[in-house]
Structure 1
Amino acid sequence: MNIFRLAGDMTHLFSVLVLLLKIHTIKSCAGISLKTQELYAIVFTTRYLDLFTTYISLYNTIMKLIFLGSSISIVWYMRHHKVVRRSYDKDQDTFRHYLLMLPCLLLALLINEKFTFLEVMWAFSLYLEAVAILPQLVLLQRTRNIDNLTGQYVLLLGAYRALYVLNWIYRYFTEENYVHWITWVSGIVQTLLYADFFYYYFQSWKNNVKLQLPA
């Protein structure tokens, strides 16, 4: 494992911890898209179907369990916790996220590394993760005023994917026959979706003003 992969994993983990901190400590999910969280739960469920059939390493298994368990628990809290769910911006979080799933599934059936159930589900999870942030970004544009924890959560998610892109570049030049076009294209698309958010986040940081996205 190289430094870019490790940094990407830790950044991803920190993004989850920031979101859980907001939900458990502040008892609020204001500014967080339930639609995006549901998509992430589906992403990790379909990606980690091999969790109990293929062992890679203890580190790999632990990280899979953390991301799978945390994504499901976040959805549960937002839907069923009597205090947390009251802060959910249901009227603003109206992105039809289910419309993203069918194209991703069809693409996975057409473009995959091997036409087996696990490989198709793996490809589906990559395609879906690439666009899963869209409901969250749309919600932030609608609400405009973004609290610090929500901004940090989205920033860390984008940074995690950007670090993974660096990881792929590093592995391409240091490992023989390292080519994974599905992973690369999906990851680059996902990273590009954060570009606008990155710009406004660093503008707000540089000018020491509250983060706002244009409507």
Structure 2
Amino acid sequence: MGTKGELSRLRELRQWIRRQSMRTKIILGVVAALISLVCLRVFVRDRNHFFVASEAIHTTGIFVLIYKLTTKKSCSGLSLKSQELTAIFLTARLICSVTIEADIHTILDSMTLISTLWVIYTMRFKLKSTYIKELDTMPLYYVILPCAIISAIIHPGSLYPLVSRIMWSFCTCLEAVSVLPQLRYMQNAKVHILAHYKLLFTIFVIFKDINEFFLVSLIENGLVSNMVEPFTAHYVFALGIARFLACAHWIFQIYDTRGLYLFLVGKGHFWILLMILGEIVQTFILADFCYYYLKRLVAISITLFS
């Protein structure tokens, strides 16, 4: 009885959220994020644990992709360009990490880089026939060139060589936007499949006299939610959680220093602002996907246990 009652309340909550306007949903999302930050603040004392957890979750996401590639023998739904961008920023960060501060972050970055290179090799050679290049349309220079320009202008000031400082800034910028090709890939897949389903249902409407509005609604609310390949969805969600934890680190850093970091920005230390903005941008880029991922997860849970 308890389980059915909980599922009923969960279903009612889901339906209530669906009825709300987009503005209300955004406010609810912000409130949920603030509650999560408060919980992290209460239960996690050492801020460095956020970065370690972030990198560990990213590595776990890569392992999910490896599992998909080895068991499903398919790389459908996966953007090769996002993986290549990931390998580029990890290589740059690993070089800086070895020369500047070799620690647990270096080990995690090494594991993630090796795993990412394996994914790239598998997609390019072993599973090349399953890679849908037509959907992976974002040119790499759209992402790399702006990051290179920004890092040449804004980079940390320290006693380390200029090349190392620019490289560190470059990997920070590139990491913030490395997921964009993957999101574009999924958007293209959604448009491509939706167009095919609408064509099929239009033909069905003509010959069977079925309400077209009902069928289009069925497509958009039922079929589209299943278009993202499950393992790819798990991977992107892991990236979202990883970025949220990294963003939380900087939020607490600013809070604990009573805004000292922002004061340093006013003194000309724009590198600090670049790091903070990078984390915020990547978190917001992935926030929309994470919302629909959790929404779909709740729907599946209700279906399985009802």
- Give the C-alpha shift of residue 203 in structure 1: 2.1
The one-letter code matched in structure 2 to 1:61 is: T
For the pair 1:97 / 2:189, whether they are aligned, the reply is: no
- Give the C-alpha shift of residue 173 in structure 1: 3.8
Give the distance between the partners of 2:122 and 2:69, measured in 1 at CA: 8
1:104-128 deviations in Å (ceiling 9; x for gaps)? 1011111111371011011111111
Q: Secondary structure at 2:76's aligned position in 1?
A: coil
Q: Which residue matches 1:147? A: 229
Greater displacement, 95-104 / 175-184: 175-184
Q: Which of these residues, 257, 272, 286, is aligned with residue 194 of structure 1? A: 286
- Give the C-alpha shift of residue 77 in structure 1: 1.2
Give the distance between the partners of 2:150 and 2:136, measured in 1 at CA: 26
Q: How does 1:110-129 map to 2 (within 5 A)?
A: 110-114=153-157, 116-129=162-175
1:162-212 deviations in Å (ceiling 9; x for gaps)? 011112223334469667322211111111111221222122222229xxx
Q: TM-score, normalised by structure 2?
A: 0.62
The one-letter code matched in structure 2 to 1:135 is: P
The one-letter code matched in structure 1 to 2:167 is: M
Give the distance between the partners of 2:238 and 2:275, measured in 1 at CA: 20
For the pair 1:77 / 2:77, whether they are aligned, the reply is: no
Gaps of 5+ in 2: 1-45, 191-226, 263-271, 302-306
Give the distance between the partners of 1:118 and 1:44, measured in 2 at CA: 14
Q: How does 1:15-30 map to 2 (within 5 A)?
A: 15-30=61-76
Q: Which protein has greater RCO, CA pairs closer than 8 Å, 6+ apart?
A: 1
The one-letter code matched in structure 2 to 1:113 is: P
Q: How does 1:20-99 map to 2 (within 5 A)?
A: 20-57=66-103, 59-81=104-126, 84-99=127-142
Give the distance between the partners of 1:129 and 1:4, measured in 2 at CA: 17
Q: Contact conserved, 2:55 with 2:109, CA < 8 A, in 1?
A: no
Q: Secondary structure at 1:50's aligned position in 2?
A: helix
The aligned length equals 206
1:18-51 deviations in Å (ceiling 9; x for gaps)? 1111112222111000011111111111122135
Report the identity percentage.
33
Give the distance between the partners of 1:56 and 1:24, measured in 2 at CA: 32
Give the distance between the partners of 2:99 and 2:292, measured in 1 at CA: 43
Gaps of 5+ in 1: 210-215
Give the distance between the partners of 1:101 and 1:10, measured in 2 at CA: 25
> Residues 190 and 147 of structure 1: is their aligned pair in 2 closer, same or farther, counting only changes over 3 Å?
same
Larger radius of gyration: 2
Q: Which residue matches 1:181? A: 273
> Residues 55 and 109 of structure 1: is their aligned pair in 2 closer, same or farther, counting only changes over 3 Å?
closer
Give the distance between the partners of 1:191 and 1:67, measured in 2 at CA: 20
Q: TM-score, normalised by structure 1?
A: 0.87
- Give the C-alpha shift of residue 52 in structure 1: 4.0
